Every structure is written in structure tokens, then in C-alpha cells.
Amino acid sequence: MTHNSLKSTKTLNRAERREAARVTRLVRETLLAMGITPPDGPAFQPEIHEEPTATNPTPRKKFAELWASTPVWGIIGVLVGAIVSQISLNLIFALTWAVLCFEFVRLRIFESKLPRYAANLAFSIMLGAACIFVLDILPKPKEQPSLDQQLDAFAARFPFLLRGATPPNEGVLHTQPTTQNISTNQKSPSPRHTLNNKETQDFEKPLKAHKGDKQSVRIFCPTGDEQACIYAGQFINIFRDAGWVVEDGVVHRVTLGIPYDGIRLFAYAGKSSNPQDKDSNYTWMAISPSLLTVYKAFASIGIESDMGHDPDLSPQQMTVYFGPPRTDEHTSTPLTGTVKNIEMTQNKKSLNSKKLP
């Protein structure tokens, strides 16, 4: 009997392995009883192939896989970035720069110290410059409207909900419209609000196109009207961005002896326009090119401003006073008619100059 005859190439299960071990033990005992010493070693042992058993991963291993998942960390990063951007956009760029620099240093691109330090420094500087460039070209976030401004906008959009009137197209008896001379360009009243990008550009357009000297601008609002002061505050940067000087860079709160509503443009006021009339008590106000330009700027966003005189102003100054809003700030004011007369006169002079040989 050869030892190789005892080899088994079959893959055995657990019961078969126990039976094979029992038979092997009996054979060894029989051989020993016959005075034959069985050889030791793997040649006499039956070859037992154990099937690999698939182990189910534990919950701990599954959580470890989830923790190391790239998509999970990616969406966490997006969420953190959205939250931090509400606080400060500069902060999220600073965190991005710090994390990327840390990872670059940790990779140790070069083993030698001097090349590695030089590469780390160059990467940090270039990444910082890229972050600053991207941050500079990104559009600036808009200022969120206040609760009062949101309520005013809602009231303007759905007036029937606040007035108790019948909603449009429900139970309303429609009649033929009467023939009235209504301008199609007339705008409906709208509450004051933070200017959007288009309105800001429309307002700045006449200011930037102004030629010649510019009067410095003072911005005033009533002492007890917080909403008027908040509305006026946004025009500080708008005037500055258009190249105009805003004195002190703040909104001055004042109390006028005669209160005004709407927006008024105050300029230098002198005495009587007739030098021979020494006893006259009325005053005159010069309609300067700067005042005309500022009037056109407000008219471009649908606000008709009025004028006023201030003897304390110098000819190089003008005041923009933001009083409480008028019922409809699109309606004409005395200054509207004055500006139209000035423009008509200028147009006539321009035509007459063209006719001259």
C-alpha cells in the first residue's frame, strides 16, 4: 500500500472531514498493530480542501465604509460651504486655501527639504492669488430686504388681500373702457425698496455721463423716520461709484422747520434776482447742472423729485433730502415742469445754432 493512495482530492464538508480523520486514525492503529510504523508528514495525511467561508461585514465595518466614502464627504463639504457662505464668503475661501495647502504639504511632492519647501511656498502663493482673483470677480451678494420692505412688496402685488376688495376676474362686472387720455408709459405706484442691479445702473447712468464740475452731495433724512433713512443709506455708495463726492459718507438725520415728503433737492439760495429790488424778501435758486443730473437720476428709477432752497449751502454743495414717501412718487412736481422748460429752451438754442450759417 502506497501512501499516495490515501490522498483525497475531493473537497470535503465538515462531516466528511471528521469521517476521514476517524478512518486515518484506524489505519494508523492497524498499521501499528501489524508492526508497521506509518510515516509522519503530509504524504500520509488526507488532503482536505476547505471551502472559503464568506464572512458578513459587521455594522462597525459598514459605518467605517460610509465614513470613508468620497460622495459622502463631497456632499458634506457642499453643505458646509453653503452654511459658511451665508456668514462670510471670505471665510469659505480661506478655509479652502488652508485645506488644499495642508493636503499639498502632506503629500511631500519632493523628498529633499529645499525643493519641498520651495514647492510648498510656491503652491501656497499661487493658490492664494487664485482665490483672491476668483473672490474679486464674483458678484457681490445682494442685501436682503427687511421685513417691512417684504410686506410692502406683498401689499403692492396683492392689494385686494389687504383692502378687502373683490379679487380681479371674480364677480366683477366688466364695462367698455371710456376714452381717456392716459399715457401708456405711466408707471404704477411702488413702495421704496433696495435698488436691484438694473435700477442701480439706470440711476448711475446720468451721474456718470455728467460733464463738468460736480457739486458735493449731502444726504439728509428725517430724525424720526427710520425707513426713510435706511432707504437713503443705499445711495451713498451709488453716488460714490458714479464718481460723485458724498460729504462725510453718512446719512444726516435732521429736523426741518417745515417738513417735506418725497425726495427734495436743496441748492444754494440767493436773494432777489432783481438787484434794484433791495426790499424784496423772496429768494431765488440756481438750477445747476449737477442738480439737473441728480433729478434725471431719480427720474430714471421712476421717482419725481422736488426742489428746495437752503441759504446755508455754498454754490459747490447740494442736499438730497429723503422725506417720507409720497402717495405716488411717479407724479410730477414743480421741479418736473422747471426741468422740462429748461430742456425746451436748450433744444431751441441748439436748433437755432444749427440754422446759423
The band of 182, judged by pLDDT with boundaries at 50, 70 and 90, is very low
C-alpha distance from residue 278 to each of 34, 42, 164, 315 (Å)? 156, 135, 59, 22
- Cα 349 to Cα 211, 252, 356, distances in angstroms: 19, 40, 11
DSSP labels, 44-110: TS---PPPPPPPPPPHHHHHHHHHT-HHHHHHHHHHHHHHHHHH-HHHHHHHHHHHHHHHHHHH-S-
Identify the pLDDT of residue 184.
38
Q: Which pLDDT does position 178 carry in this prediction?
A: 37
- Rounded distance between C-alpha atoms, residue 247 and residue 263, angstroms: 18
Q: What is the mean pLDDT of residues 61-89?
A: 75
Q: How far is CA 311 from CA 219, 270, 283, 314, in A?
A: 17, 7, 9, 8
Give all strands (DSSP E) within 72-119, no chain letters: none
Alpha-carbon gap, residue 36 to 33, rounded angstroms: 7
Task: Examine the pLDDT at 151 and tell me if it is beyond 80.
Answer: no
Nearest C-alpha neighbor of 232 from the set 282, 276, 269, 194: 194
pLDDT digits (tens, 9 = 90+) for 279-309: 555 556 668 888 899 999 999 999 999 988 8
Using DSSP, state whether 82 is helix, strand or coil.
Answer: helix
What pLDDT digit, counting tens, does each position of 317-337 carry?
999 999 999 988 889 998 888
- Position 252 scores a pLDDT of 93
Q: Alpha-carbon torsion 248, 249, 254, 260, what sign?
A: positive
In the chain, the percentage of residues whose pLDDT exceeds 70 is 69
97 - beta bridge partners?
A: none
Is the dihedral angle over the CA atoms 178, 180, 186, 187 positive or is it negative?
A: negative
> Side chain identity at 274, as an amino acid letter?
N
**323, 266 in Cβ contact below 8 A?**
no
Indicate the pTM of the whole model. 0.45
Residue 48 scores a pLDDT above 60: no
Task: Give residue for cell 451709488.
Answer: 238
Q: Give residue 357's pLDDT.
A: 53
pLDDT of residue 47: 53
Cα 112 to Cα 131: distance, rounded to the nearest angstrom:
28
Least confident of 4-8, 18-22, 67-71: 4-8
Chain centre distance of CA 200: 16
pLDDT computed for residue 201 by the predictor: 93
pLDDT of the residue at 198? 93
The residue written with cell numbers 471528521 in the block is 18
Cell 381717456 identifies what position? Answer: 180
What domains lie within the chain, and their CATH numbers?
1-50 (no CATH), 70-137 (no CATH), 197-355 (3.30.70.2390)
DSSP H/E element including 309: strand 306-310
Rounded CA gap, 238 and 195, in Å? 10
Q: Is residue 102 scored above 80 in pLDDT?
A: yes
Q: Residue 270 and residue 329: Cα distance in Å, rounded?
A: 28
pLDDT averaged over every residue in the chain: 76
